[in-house]
């Protein structure tokens, strides 16, 4: 099921790296680490996305998952079958519309989702080693400002404003 990604060091940064270059590299490193963890837990990206959505809103229909994740219905169906075989989800006919099938996350699925969440938190903790709370706060403020600078007008209203 999971496949091991080949470890390869990122290319060295130039002598005067631009902030977005570093952000891009950190994002790439995190995505790679989280992809490996999700493959270890769930097998495929489709399964990972299904589990993420079910952790947010349990009991959605298979059709809802197709709409939310933008994967083809057969991909969702195959992934759900594998997740069900692993004991992460179970499916039940809808009590009102017998044509619809609702998908529920199991306790085993919730445990796997928590494990994924802890892996993300651990990655975040690792990236912040040696960085003071004051510097961390400034970093977050700076990143949020950068985010606002590139969002279209009207979409840059954030809770921190």
pLDDT band at residue 156 under the 50/70/90 scheme: low
Q: Can you give the pLDDT at residue 6?
A: 55
Would you place residue 155 in the very low, low, confident or very high pLDDT band (cuts 50, 70, 90)? Answer: low
Whole-model pTM above 0.85?
no
Average pLDDT for the chain: 88
Q: How many other CB atoms are found less than 10 A from the CB of residue 160?
A: 8
Query: Which pLDDT does position 158 carry in this prediction?
Result: 54
Strand blocks (E) in the chain:
60-61, 89-93, 101-105
Architecture of the domain made up of 21-149: Orthogonal Bundle (1.10)
Are the CB atoms for 102 and 73 separated by under 8 Å?
no
- pLDDT for the residue numbered 45: 87
Q: What is the mean pLDDT of residues 79-93?
A: 95
Q: Where are the domains of the chain?
A: 21-149
Q: Give the tens place of pLDDT for each residue, 27-36.
A: 999 989 988 9
Specify the pLDDT at position 38.
Answer: 86
């Amino acid at each position: 099921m999971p496949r091991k990604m080949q470890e390869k060091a990122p290319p060295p940064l130039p002598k005067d790296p631009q902030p977005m270059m570093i952000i891009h590299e950190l994002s790439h490193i995190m995505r790679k680490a989280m992809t490996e963890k999700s493959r270890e837990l769930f097998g495929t990206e489709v399964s990972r996305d299904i589990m993420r959505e079910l952790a947010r809103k349990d009991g959605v229909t298979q059709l809802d998952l197709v709409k939310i994740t933008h994967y083809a219905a057969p991909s969702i169906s195959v992934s759900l079958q594998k997740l069900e075989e692993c004991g992460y989800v179970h499916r039940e006919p809808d009590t009102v519309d017998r044509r619809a099938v609702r998908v529920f996350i199991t306790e085993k699925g919730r445990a796997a989702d928590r494990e994924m969440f802890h892996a993300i938190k651990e990655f975040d903790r690792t990236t912040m080693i040696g960085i003071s709370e004051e510097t961390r706060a400034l970093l977050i403020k700076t990143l949020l400002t950068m985010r606002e600078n590139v969002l279209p007008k009207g979409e840059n209203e954030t809770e921190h404003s």
